[in-house]
Every structure is written in C-alpha cells, then in structure tokens.
Amino acid sequence: MSAQPVNPNLPPDHVTVFIDGQELAAPKGAMIIHAADKAGIPIPRFCYHEKLPIAANCRMCLVDTEVGGRAAPKPSPACATPVMDGMKVFTRNDKALKAQRNVMEFLLINHPLDCPICDQGGECELQDLSLGYGRSVSRFVERKRVVADEDLGPLVATEMTRCIQCTRCVRFTADIAGTYELGGMQRGENLQIGTYDGKPLTTELSGNVIDVCPVGALTNKVFRFRARPWELTARPSLGYHDALGSNLFHHVRRGEILRSVPRDNEAVNECWLSDRDRYAHEGLYAADRAGVPLLRDGDPAVDDGWREASWEEALAKAAKILRDNAADALGVLVHPATSNEEGALLARIAGALGSGNLDHRIAQADLSDGAIAEAFAMPVAEIEQADAIVIVGSNLRHEVPLLHQRVRKAAKRGARVYIVNPVDFDVAFAVAGKRIAPPSRLADALAGLDIGEAAHAAVIVGAVAESGPHAAAIRKAAAEFATARNARLCRIPQGANALGLARHGVLPASRDAQAMLRDPRSAYVLYGIEPGLDFADQRLALKALGDAQVVAFSQFACASTRRVADVILPIGALPEVDATLTNLEGRDQVASAAGKLPGQARPGWRVLRALAGELALPGFDFVDLDGLRAGIAPVAVDVARGAAVATAGTGLDLVVSQAIYRGDAVVRRAAALQAHPLSTGPRLMLHPADAAAAGLAAGDMAKVGNGIGHATLPVELDDRVATGSAWVEAGHGATAPLAASAKVEVARA
C-alpha cells in the first residue's frame, strides 16, 4: 500500500474512506460506524451508542472491508474498526449481509416471542432490525432460556429474559452515572445482566437505562402497560425542577401525560434526563390538585369554610382584596419556577398597584447583599473541558444531576475537582481536594483553598451556600476567589426560572421576600407556592400569611394553602401551558402545552390578564400569548438589600440541603419518586463526635431547636458531616420549622 494519502488535499488528521462506493473524509482514529453515520449510511447495531464506550459485543454491525486491494479474511465490527486511508467498506454486499443475518439469528435463539405483550413493542430496535435481517422461521428447536427478574426499584421494570446482553445499561451506570450498579454475571450462554446484590438502582439518572435498552428488558415501571407508542403525541417541553432546564418530550394521550423522555440538546442535557424530570409528571394528577376556584367564606363546619365559586366571583373577590390593600400594604411572593410571561405580568400588576414588595427569592434566607440570580460565566457544555472545578456549598449530585454529570466528564478527562462543603456529599468522580467545614466557616475555608495553576477553571456555588444564613459572606468569598484565580463564577440559580424572573423584574424595589414576612403586609399574592414547605422560614411565613388576606394562584389546593388563603385561583403547571424559562446559562427555552388543564384551571397568564381587567389596570390589552410576549422584555431593577441574618447563638451550625425529591409541589406528589431509595425521609445527621457529646446514638429521637423553630427527628450518625454541624434536608414538614436557623441545640427527646 502506498504511503501517499489517497486525497492529499485533506487535512493531515483526516483520511479517505470509501463506504459502499461513496468517498468520505473521516478523522484518523474514527470508527467505520462514525463515518457511516455522518454520511447517513445505515449500519445495524445494538450495543453501540454514541454516548457510551465501545463494547463491540453484539456484532450486529459486521461489515466487509478491503485495504490496499486486500479483503479482510472475515467481517469486521464497524463500531470497533478504525478507518484507514483508502479503506473500502461494504455494508450491503453478500458477505456483510450474510454476517448480519447470522448474528440476528443467534440473537433470536433465546429471545422470547412475546412481542404482542411487550411494552417495548412499536419502539423496539430488535423488532425493527429483525424485520430486515431476521428469518421467517427459526432453525433452532431447543428450549429458550429463562432469566429471573430483579426488582430494580420503583422506576425501572425488568424482563431480563428479553435481554440480548448488549451491555448498554452496564456502560451507562458505570461511565455516565458513575455508580457501577449493573454488571454481567456468569459467562457464555449463561451470561446475565443484573445488580448481583439484588438491591434497587440508587442513581439519580436510573431512568436513562430505559432509553438505552434496545429491547424490552428495561422499561418504565410507571408507564408500563398504559399505552402503546403509536397512541401517544409528543410535546416538546422542559424540566422545571432544577435550573438546568433539560429538554424533554411529554408523551400525551387524550390530554394525559403518560411519560416523559429526553429531547436531544447537546448544549444543555445531551440525550439524558434526570429521574426527577422523567417521573415528576405523576405528581400532576394528585388528589389535591386545584381544579376549580375556591373562596373561604362558606360554613366553617363544612370543609373549613371553603366553597367552590365561579371564575367571575373568585376574580371579583381577589380584585377587591388587592384594591383594598394596594401600594405598600401588598406583598407579592412568586415561586422561582414561574415562567417569564407570568413573572412579567406579576411585575406589571405590582407596579400598577404601587407595590414594591415583589420577590421570587422565597427560599433564600440571607439577601443582605441584594444578590440575584446570574447566568453562568461559561456555557454548561464547556464545564466538561475545564482544568479545575471548585464546588462550593452544594450537594451537586442531587441539586442539578446533569450538571454533576458534566463535572464527572471533566474529572474523567483529567480535571482537578475541589469541594468546599459543610458535608462531604456523595459525588461520582475523583476529588483532588476537599475542605469540610461548618457553614459559618465555609467562606474562610474557600479563601484558603489552593487549586494550583489552572488556565480554565470554574467555581460552582450551590443551594447550601446560596440559601443559608451565611449566603452573603460565601457569595462574596466565591466572587473574590474566582477573580483572584481568573476562574469563571457559576452560581446556580435557586429555582428553575430564577434567572428569568430576575431579568423580568420580579424583584423588590422595597421589601424582599424575608422583609415582607418579618414586617407583615395586610395582603399577599402567592403565586405557585406551597406555603407550608417552599419558604426559607416556614414559621415566619405561615404566621404572616395567616394574619393577612391572601390571594393564592396555585396548582394545588393543599392543606397549607387552604390554611392561609382567602381565594384559591387554579392555574396550570408548566407541562400544561405554553411558557418560556431561562436556564442557568441564560438560555431562553420554550415549553409547549402538553397535558390537559384539570377542571376549570387556566394558564396563569390568562388568569393574571383577567384579574388585571377586574382591576382596570393599563397594559393588559393583549389577546393571546404572542401579543403578551411581544410586549415584555428584560428590565433592570434597583434591588433593595435585605437585613442581615442573625447568626449568633449557641449549639451546632445547621446545614440544610434540599431533599432530592422534595423540591417542589409537583415532585412531592410523584409517588414513584417518593418510593425511591434516595427519598430517605426527615432525619438529623450528626458527626459521631457531636452525637456522643449530646448523649445521642443512632436511632435515637432528638429534639432540635433554636428558640424560633423546633423539631423532633430520628438521629443518624455520619462522619461526612463537619464537626460542629447538624445536617437536615428541607422539603419535609418535620424539618420545615428549622430551615432558616443558623444554629440549633440538640438533645435527647
């Protein structure tokens, strides 16, 4: 073979390859399947997946190759054979087709003939390829093997007799999730895929094994047997349970969302989806979903005085409350996952009523520096190319699972990852260094961190830092640290659309969220909030709201909303409306309405427009969503600074992280997620030394309090917790009284 390149005009890192007679340029080292896919030449495959390491164990992609005029003695796997200059590849000649058909015959020897009842029917890769490469009659008459199923938990259903051992699921848990929970057991014809220990999957990304499985061995347990794929309509939407804004499709039948699957977007979530975004839709159909306007002016002996009302009556009552309590007497509190359209209208209503008491930062205790959400200083996709990454005050794996996965990719390619946290939270990558310190000393711990030389560094600040009573000091330390080391500062917005709401003026010109609760107003608007669990200080919030008149725009008529509200106006959740959200890197993304609105519920923007009409406010003359969007734009707001949080006192520093499946009202109502092993329930986590000093042992019940709020919680010992600290998870009713505490006293109950 000549040493001269076939095409000397190509770049030096490319070669010429001929696939089915078509001349192509391909990078050196690329596999045949890469070049074929780029050219749109189909090659059958099962084990190959573009995001997973190459395994080359299904052999379905066998092709015939020829180099330098010499044919290869046997077919080559296209996924594991690198291209060579001048190589000729034949994907459809007799030799290749015979090899592919023989492989298909072997794959079907043990595969069960249960396509009519298989939940994968209609979207099964094996079913599709067997149509083109399978025989109509099997030559094997031996009994098919049977493989016992494992219980992988509440999210993933198994039918392992269907497994073709492609190992995609094994490679996903090992290389993408980093949990190494699945593997191959035994050898040869006895090979099985399973967990070995029989325990359920614990990764926060487990649902992705359903997507990568090419057969019906791993399926969606929540969706199973509910519909066939051809009955479903796909609606593009967004994940709204963290600030990443993962792209997804909701699959809908007759207005009901039956499942959610990832929508490819390399810049945001690639082709993956967190379990929280995949299964949260189940919570939309909870029993306490608000489907009709409610007024609290009925018989107190009947349903606590609540009665159903018409939209006209409910809006008139809401308008009267706002009209009678306008200007500084009114506070407007907005959930940070509210859309840009709704947020802009809320800001317009508050301004027209003369109120500067408007805020979406309801879960952040320390706003003394006037901090608002800011876009990441680098695109999410670039984080995996960083040389050094510092994670500050974040349980990143639970807070933004797919951002954690990007950091894992960076670590795998050699990036040094450093962690400064009050708890040594679980991560799925190697850590170059860590500082575990109580929240009150977190800023000092960060300032003293040495990360060496790094040309491309990122500092990621998360919810434990942003939402706690020491947030202002930690934000200041993070900004100084990033500036001194020429690193990019990436503060995770605290809410799915916190950045969009900040840009559209849902911020205080007068009192912030905490100030308008400490100094109660005579009336409040609650928008999309579950008041018993969504605030930084639940005790303070419930007291202020309970003494005022409250108009609640809500997806759920839950007990805590009924406790404080005077009017409940039912609105749609994000999967049910057309909306725009802004993700953590400042990317505006559009969601389309998928599910049917329950009962008489309406899209929030329509209800706000109708309320403004009752109030005769200017600026609401649009008639559709396009007209609304044409009239809104980002605005600059001079944000009022809040009061400093009192952090003095005695006892242990309180560490509060958000429970992974308790972050918002919809997720809390998703039964499958609540049954997941990561849903551990309320508990108090102590370092063994601190527990011993308090006379507590694992399993004891402890009284936890600070003179403001008190809770009784079971004790667990964990040496990952910084000494001098006590760790609880927010999102539970049992821990809600403690959420805004700086220090707590701990004693045996």
- Contact of 661 with 277, CB cutoff 8 Å: no
Average pLDDT of the residues in 480-498:
97
Contacts of 510 (CB under 8 A, 6+ apart): 328, 355, 356, 357, 640
The whole-chain average pLDDT of the chain stands at: 94
Q: Which of 220, 178, 210, 288 is nearest to 672 (CA)?
A: 220
Average pLDDT of the residues in 690-705:
95
Considering the domain 14-107 in this protein, what is its CATH number? 3.10.20.740
Q: Is pLDDT above 90 for 2?
A: no
Give the pLDDT confidence of 432-472 residue by residue, as tens digits. 999 999 999 999 999 999 998 899 999 999 999 999 999 99
Q: Is pLDDT above 60 for 1?
A: no
Residue 252 to residues 230, 255, 263, 280, 671: CA-CA distances in angstroms? 11, 6, 15, 14, 19
Q: How many CB atoms lie within 10 A of CB 378?
A: 18
Q: Domain 652-748 maps to which CATH number in 3.40.50.20, 3.20.19.10, 1.10.3720.10, 2.40.40.20? A: 2.40.40.20
Give the pLDDT confidence of 122-145 residue by residue, as tens digits. 999 999 999 999 988 889 888 999
CATH architecture of residue range(s) 380-491: 3-Layer(aba) Sandwich (3.40)
- What is the location of CATH 2.40.40.20 in the chain? 652-748
Q: How far is Cα 263 from Cα 674, in angstroms, rounded to an integer?
A: 25
Average pLDDT of the residues in 551-579:
97
Q: Is pLDDT above 90 for 638?
A: no
Q: Is pLDDT above 90 for 747?
A: yes
Which one-letter DSSP state was computed for residue 596?
A: P
Average pLDDT of the residues in 197-218:
95
Q: Which of 83, 89, 31 is nearest to 65 (CA)?
A: 89
Give the pLDDT confidence of 167-183 residue by residue, as tens digits. 999 999 999 999 999 99
For a pLDDT cut of 70, what percent of the chain falls above it?
A: 99
Q: Is pLDDT above 80 for 707?
A: no
Residue 622 to residues 322, 569, 610, 631, 632: CA-CA distances in angstroms? 22, 21, 11, 8, 11
Contacts of 450 (CB under 8 A, 6+ apart): 433
HSE at residue 703, side-chain half, CA atoms within 13 A, is 8
Q: Is pLDDT above 70 for 301?
A: no
Asked which of 68-82, 628-642, 664-678 is least confident by mean pLDDT, the reply is 628-642
Fold of 294-369+498-630: Rossmann fold (3.40.50)
**Strand residue runs (E) in 529-643:** 549-554, 567-570, 579-582, 588-591
Q: What is the pTM of this model?
A: 0.95
- What is the location of CATH 3.40.50.740 in the chain? 294-369+498-630
Average pLDDT of the residues in 27-40:
95
Q: Is pLDDT above 70 for 234?
A: yes
Give the pLDDT confidence of 396-419 residue by residue, as tens digits. 999 999 999 999 999 999 999 999
Query: What pLDDT is attached to residue 3?
Result: 61
Query: What pLDDT is attached to residue 715?
Result: 97
- What is the location of CATH 3.40.228.10 in the chain? 380-491
Query: What pLDDT is attached to residue 12?
Result: 87
Give the pLDDT confidence of 316-328 residue by residue, as tens digits. 999 999 999 999 9
Average pLDDT of the residues in 15-32:
95
Local confidence band at 494 (pLDDT 50, 70, 90 cut-offs):
very high
Q: What class, spelled out in words, does domain 143-285 have in CATH? A: alpha beta
Q: Residue 25: is it exposed, middle or buried by C-beta count within 10 angstroms (0-12/13-18/19+)? A: middle
